[in-house]
Amino acid sequence: MANTYTQIHIHVIFAVQNRQSLIHKKWRADLFKYISGIITNHEHKALQINGVADHIHLLIGFRPTQSLSELVKYVKQDSSKWVNQNKYINGRFSWQKGYAAFSHSASQVSQVIRYIQNQEMHHKKESFREEYLDFLDKYEVDFDERYIFKPVS
C-alpha cells in the first residue's frame, strides 16, 4: 500500500479451550516465538506476547492489510496445529472461540507492554475472568454474560 501510513496498536486476549491450564512453562516461550512468527508472516509486528497456563495476551503493531479477525484466526489455527504436532499435551490442544481486542495509542504502548510482561504476577491477585470483565468494563464493551468465560470449577 504505497503512501499509506498507519499507527495501529491492538491488544488481543484469548483463552485455551474450556480455560484449561495447558500452556506449560517449559514450552510457553517457544509458543510465543511461534505466534510472533505467524504475526510477522502476515506483515504485522508482534510487540509483546505473554500469558499464563490458560490464556495469552498479544500486543500487535497492526497493518490495515488484513482484518483482525482473519489474523486471530490464523494465529489460533496455526499455533494449535504447532502445539499438537509437537505433542506438548496429551490429547488435543485448541483455543476457545472468540477473543477480546482493544486499541491503544502510541503513548500507551510501553504501559501495555509492561502489563503483558507481568502476567504471572498479575494473576496471583486476579483471575482471568475478573481480568477479562475488567477490560470489557474499562473499554465500555457491551457483552452478553452467556458468552463470558465461566469460572473453572
Phi, psi angles (nearest 5°) of residue 46: -80, 110
* pLDDT attached to residue 25: 96
pLDDT one-digit tens code per residue, 30-74: 999 999 999 999 999 999 999 999 999 999 999 999 999 999 999
* pLDDT attached to residue 19: 84
Mean pLDDT (whole number) for 117-140: 87
Domains of the chain, earliest start first: 8-147 (3.30.70.1290)
* pLDDT attached to residue 22: 96
Smallest Cα–Cα separation from 3: which of 46, 59, 64, 60? 64
Phi, psi angles (nearest 5°) of residue 108: -95, -10
Note the helical H segments in the chain.
25-41, 68-85, 109-117, 119-122, 128-138
Residue type, 17: Q
Q: Check whether 88 has a pLDDT greater than 90.
A: yes
* pLDDT attached to residue 150: 60
Residue type, 43: E
* pLDDT attached to residue 74: 98
Rounded-to-integer distance, Cα 16 and Cα 3, Å: 39
- The answer to whether 32 touches 50, Cβ cutoff 8 Å, is yes
SS3 2: coil
Q: Check whether 138 has a pLDDT greater than 80.
A: yes
Rounded-to-integer distance, Cα 69 and Cα 98, Å: 9
Q: Check whether 9 has a pLDDT greater than 90.
A: yes
* pLDDT attached to residue 76: 98
